[in-house]
Amino acid sequence: VTMATGQKLMRAIRVFEFGGPEVLKLQSNVAIPIPKDHQVLIKVQACGVNPVDTYIRSGTYSRKPLLPYTPGLDVAGIIEAVGESVSAFKKGDRVFTTSTISGGYADARVKAGESVLVHGASGGVGIAACQIARAYGLKVLGTAGTEEGQKIVLQNGAHEVFNHKEANYIDKIKKSVGEKGVDVIIEMLANVNLSNDLNLLSHGGRVIVVGSRGPIEINPRDTMAKESSIIGVALYSSTK
């Protein structure tokens, strides 16, 4: 379909007000964007359903996009067009994106030889974290709640895996890393684990909060003697 102006149209799920799934509206007359100088246009072939998408749609996320917007953070596809200043990509390239990535992971300043604990390592983000951490030469520890999940964690780069449903799994992690503690913790469920995370950290250790489903009480003193850090990270950039 093409507009009178010559711009092509597409179908898209649009959100005009925050709320439940019922606010998702299918439109068939949405203009296909034209990439600006430093942008690329991706023909989406697969799109993940991220829990954050539901938080944004409901209006409960810390950052709200301007309405109306098209949801969908995690996509894979083929580049359809590129802006005039784009040189690293070309039409036809296969790509994936999680939108704009903030600086939280950069702040973690990981280096080879350090240890990283990935909570919920059998999920999509956890698997990627294990693979990247292993490639960086880190000692990779992961947690998962099922036997199948634990196998997946080991297959994707973890040196050791722990069942977070076991009452003593924290003690097992402490035994594995020794008195030094864990250098970096990738935290998917901070409202459950953050207090324990602070006690697991090494001196100068960092907890990277990727996910949380509610509040948690912590003792700030747990960060003081170790001079540790809690760093939030969001993989998020709303579309227009």
Convert the pLDDT of each residue in 76-124 to its tens digit: 899 999 999 999 999 999 998 875 433 344 455 678 899 999 999 999 8
Which of 66, 96, 126 is a domain's end point?
A: 96
In a domain, 85, yes or no: yes
Write out the residue range of the structural domain in which residue 32 sits.
9-96
pLDDT confidence of residue 51: 81
- Asked if residue 210 and residue 125 are part of one domain, the reply reads yes
Looking at residue 101, what DSSP letter applies?
A: B
Q: In the chain, which residue ranges form alpha helices assigned H by DSSP?
A: 51-58, 104-108, 124-135, 147-155, 169-177, 190-200, 221-224
Which CATH number belongs to the domain containing residue 59 in this structure? Answer: 3.90.180.10
Q: What integer is the mean pLDDT of 213-224?
A: 94
45's CB contacts (< 8 A; 6+ apart) are: 76, 77, 78
- CB neighbour list of residue 124: distance below 8 Å, 6 or more residues apart: 48
Burial of 174 per CB tally in 10 Å (0-12, 13-18, 19+)? middle
Could you tell me if residue 240 is inside a domain? no
- In this structure, what CATH number is given to the domain that contains residue 180? 3.40.50.720
Residue carrying the six token digits 């964690």: 153
Side chain identity at 5, as an amino acid letter?
T
Extract the runs of DSSP E, i.e. beta strands, from 6-159. Answer: 9-15, 24-31, 40-47, 75-82, 94-97, 115-118, 139-144
Tokens representing 75 are: 């996509």
DSSP, collapsed to helix, strand or coil, labels residue 90 as coil
Do 63 and 146 belong together in one domain?
no
* Dihedral of the alpha carbons of 189, 99, 50, 188, in degrees to the nearest 10: -10
Summarize pLDDT for 49-87 with one digit per residue, the tens. 778 888 889 998 877 888 998 888 778 899 999 999 999
Least confident of 22-31, 49-58, 134-143, 229-238: 229-238
Alpha carbons 67 and 15: distance in angstroms, whole number = 7
Q: What percentage of the chain reaches a pLDDT higher than 70?
A: 90
What is residue 31's predicted lDDT score, i.e. its pLDDT? 86
**Same domain? 119 vs 82:** no
| Percentage of residues of the chain with pLDDT beyond 90 | 61
Residues 227, 193, single domain; the answer is yes
